[in-house]
Amino acid sequence: MAQSEENNNNAFRPYVSAGETIAEVTVRAIILGSILSVVFGIANAYIGLKYGMTVSASIPAAVMSMAILRTFFKRNVTVLENNIVQTVGSAGESLAAGIIFTIPAFFIWAANSQLADLGYDHVISKTQIFWLAMLGGGLGILLMIPLRKYLVEKEHGKLAFPEGTACSEIIIAGDEGGKKAKTVFLGIFVGMVYKLLFYTSRLWSESPNYDFKKVLKGGTIGIDATPILLGVGYIIGPKIAALMLSGAVLGYLGIGPLLAFLGDQVPGVIFAPSLDIALSDMNPAQLRNFYIKYLGVGAVAVGGFVSLARSLPVIFHSFASGAKELFGKKVNDADKPRTDRDLPMSTDLIGVFLIVIAIWAMPGTDLHFLGAMLAVIFGFFFVVVAARIVGIVGSSSSPVSGMTIATLLVTCLILLAFGVSGVKGMVTAMSVGTVVCIAVCMSGDIAQDLKTGYLLGATPKKQQLTEFIGLLFPALAMGFTVYLLSDAFGFVQTEATPNPLLAPQANVMATVVQGVMNANIPWAPILVGGMIALAVELLGIQSLPFAIGLYLPLSLSTPLMAGGILAHLIKKSTRKEVISKSRYQMGILFGSGLVAGDALIGVGTAGLIVGSLNYRGFFDSHEGMMSTLSGSFGPYLSLIAFVGLGIMFYFVAKAYGGDNSQAN
């Protein structure tokens, strides 16, 4: 088996061979990538705080790079330049996610009168936000670098890296032209039109769902009927999509109804934490928020630990190779293939050491030595887990908040064991969580970028260095952005801020830390979730995708499964292997285009929401399943449109991937 894997790796040939030397890191690529990084970062900061989601920026950055560079510089643009633009440009969105999931917790606590009575007067500054962003982001990048050869190269063919793969396909198609380019740009056009019909007119509901009332009270079923999830589902394939869906089915059609049934047996006795509401009266969303989500947190933690344990031999081998590089015979970069040159292990270790010292010495966060060590330990653990997760299901479905909650839970317990509690313990724990969350987000981003580079034939060392440039500029902007949004909208409902930004992830983080420090956190569902993941592992099934499905809403797993089914149907659409592979490849290209078109409109809409009060009012006034222009028919129209998109996907792959007369 190992031999065959080795042969497969040897057989792989990137688009640009290691022997070719073409323009890669150029001034125009750095400038354009930096501008896109800041723009995507600011747009995603707002939309994430408002709606609890961010829009992947790698593929939009690649598409915009091709359009802008080719417009102004004609054909004198290389695929590796486009790759650098998307590497730098995508960092802003990832950093924004890490910031908005955690930093607003400090503002939320500051607005809490009960905490003020306890002496909470901590106000995080713009400078501290910048340094937390740089330290967390730098840690994520540096810890990911030694794992590149294993996750990106040795696991090639096993880990899909959907966004990274889609990005490379789009860049290659744009360079080659012909049928491939037509397929990609058809997908982009369809994805944009589909999303525009939703965002500009609210013609249909984007997330139709149905809550069972009688037969399966407490259960819910729904679908985020978006092109981006259909495309990602196609790329990751039916197996991983089915594992995710199985976790979601257990949570939302199994455990949810069971909780509702138990609530009916003891009405008025079991209450939701922090809510004056009986379990029997909770709807599916409340059941998820207070119980099922914590099952998912426990399952993700255990699934991540098992994944890390399986990776330990390879991680050890990676660091052993690094130690050999440090203390053994030096191998010059010039003697290595261009596509195998990483940052030296010595540089990597020195960088991590300096970050530890900087975290320790950073004023105003109460991190000190214990906090610095916790940040690095949890950072390493979840960087490995996150890099593998994005390889399995993509960045869009990575449960970053779940991993951060797990970090906060254990960090709080350790701090309490060392006698660090109260306001100081809360600030220390959240500072650790912020560093880890940003590290996890950035490691997922660079993992996808390095996969794109591997497929294109980029120089890893150059991508790793330019990733820091992509981190720097949005880090400078994030503190000002968070303060601006806090002053304009606030994160807590008060007389001064009647319509605050919800900041859902940050609210959960703030509640978790405050709850642990006050001994008010539901440990039972967290531990039960861990046992569920362990049981899945004992069945011989990979538990991490299952755990991700249990943590995320069911509506995210269903469109992924639809994409996986499409991939299976297209592969089986003919008995001729050559035509089957061609059709599947064209499906990858069309699906990549759908992802790009959806994401482009998403980023553009985020910019409109930030910059236009009129559009913001229109967008907010049409929220909700029944607030579409088609009224109560909106959910049904959404399903019809999504099914129509799937049918179109199937026939495009068949038409562009092979002669139907030959296939029969």
- Residues 516 and 408: beta-carbon distance below 8 Å: yes
Residue 626 confidence (pLDDT): 39
Asked which of 223-232, 290-299, 387-396, 488-497 is least confident by mean pLDDT, the reply is 488-497
Query: Any idea what DSSP says for residue 16?
Result: S
More confidently predicted of 144 and 600: 144
Cα angle, residue 358 at apex, residues 352 and 361 outer, rounded to 5°: 145
Which tens digit of pLDDT belongs to each residue from 596-629? 777 677 667 666 665 665 555 555 554 443 355 5
**Mean pLDDT over residues 198-224, rounded?**
79
> Is the Cα torsion angle 450, 452, 458, 464 positive or negative in sign?
negative
Which tens digit of pLDDT belongs to each residue from 242-264? 988 999 999 999 999 998 888 88
In this prediction, what percent of the chain has a pLDDT beyond 70?
Answer: 80
**Mean pLDDT over residues 465-490, rounded?**
87
Residue 566 confidence (pLDDT): 93
- Band of pLDDT at residue 129, cut at 50, 70 and 90: very high
Based on the number of CB atoms within 10 Å of its own CB, is 406 exposed (0-12), middle (13-18) or buried (19 or more)? buried
Which tens digit of pLDDT belongs to each residue from 22-34? 889 999 999 999 9
**Residue 556 pLDDT exceeds 90:** no
Range among 66-75, 282-291, 642-651 with highest mean pLDDT value: 642-651
> Helix/strand/coil (H, E, C) string of 470-502?
HHHHHHHHHHHHHHHHHHHCCCCCCCCCCCCCC
**Residue 236 pLDDT exceeds 70:** yes
- Residues 133 and 438: beta-carbon distance below 8 Å: yes
More confidently predicted of 5 and 560: 560
Which tens digit of pLDDT belongs to each residue from 413-435? 888 888 877 778 888 888 888 99
Asked which of 306-310, 394-398, 448-452 is least confident by mean pLDDT, the reply is 394-398
Which tens digit of pLDDT belongs to each residue from 158-190? 887 888 888 888 788 777 766 777 887 888 889
Q: Is 157 left (phi over 0), alpha (psi -120 to 50) or beta?
A: left
Residue 213 confidence (pLDDT): 78
> Helix/strand/coil (H, E, C) string of 26-92?
CHHHHHHHHHHHHHHHHHHHHHHHHHCCCCCCHHHHHHHHHHHHHHHHCCCCCHHHHHHHHHHHCHH
Which tens digit of pLDDT belongs to each residue from 40-53? 787 778 767 765 66
Residue 221's SS3 state is strand
- Band of pLDDT at residue 6, cut at 50, 70 and 90: very low
Q: What is the pTM of this model?
A: 0.74
Distance, CA of 72 to chain centre: 32
Residue 2 confidence (pLDDT): 37
**Residue 228 pLDDT exceeds 50:** yes
Site of tokens 């179109």: 648
**Residue 91 pLDDT exceeds 50:** yes
Query: Any idea what DSSP says for residue 222?
Result: E
Domain ranges of the chain: 22-663
More confidently predicted of 325 and 61: 61
- Residues 188 and 472: beta-carbon distance below 8 Å: no
Residue 381 confidence (pLDDT): 80
> In angstroms, rounded to a whole number, what is the distance separating the alpha carbons of residues 653 and 581?
10
> From residue 141, how far is each of 151, 152, 444, 592 by CA, in Å?
14, 14, 9, 25
Residue 294 confidence (pLDDT): 84
**Residue 5 pLDDT exceeds 50:** no
**Residue 86 pLDDT exceeds 60:** yes
Which tens digit of pLDDT belongs to each residue from 379-399? 888 888 788 878 876 666 667
**Mean pLDDT over residues 68-96, rounded?**
85
> In angstroms, rounded to a whole number, what is the distance separating the alpha carbons of residues 307 and 174?
36
**Residue 123 pLDDT exceeds 90:** no
Residue 8 confidence (pLDDT): 44
Residue 282 confidence (pLDDT): 85
Residue 650 confidence (pLDDT): 92
Which tens digit of pLDDT belongs to each residue from 320-339? 665 666 565 665 666 678 88
> In angstroms, rounded to a whole number, what is the distance separating the alpha carbons of residues 322 and 330?
11
Distance, CA of 238 to chain centre: 20
Distance, CA of 630 to chain centre: 32
**Residue 4 pLDDT exceeds 50:** no
- Residues 460 and 148: beta-carbon distance below 8 Å: yes
More confidently predicted of 453 and 9: 453
**Residue 10 pLDDT exceeds 60:** no
Residue 628 confidence (pLDDT): 57
Residue 178 confidence (pLDDT): 65
Average pLDDT of the chain is: 80
Phi, psi of 358 (to 5 degrees): -65, -40
> In angstroms, rounded to a whole number, what is the distance separating the alpha carbons of residues 513 and 427?
9
Residue 645 confidence (pLDDT): 92
> Is the Cα torsion angle 524, 527, 533, 538 positive or negative in sign?
negative
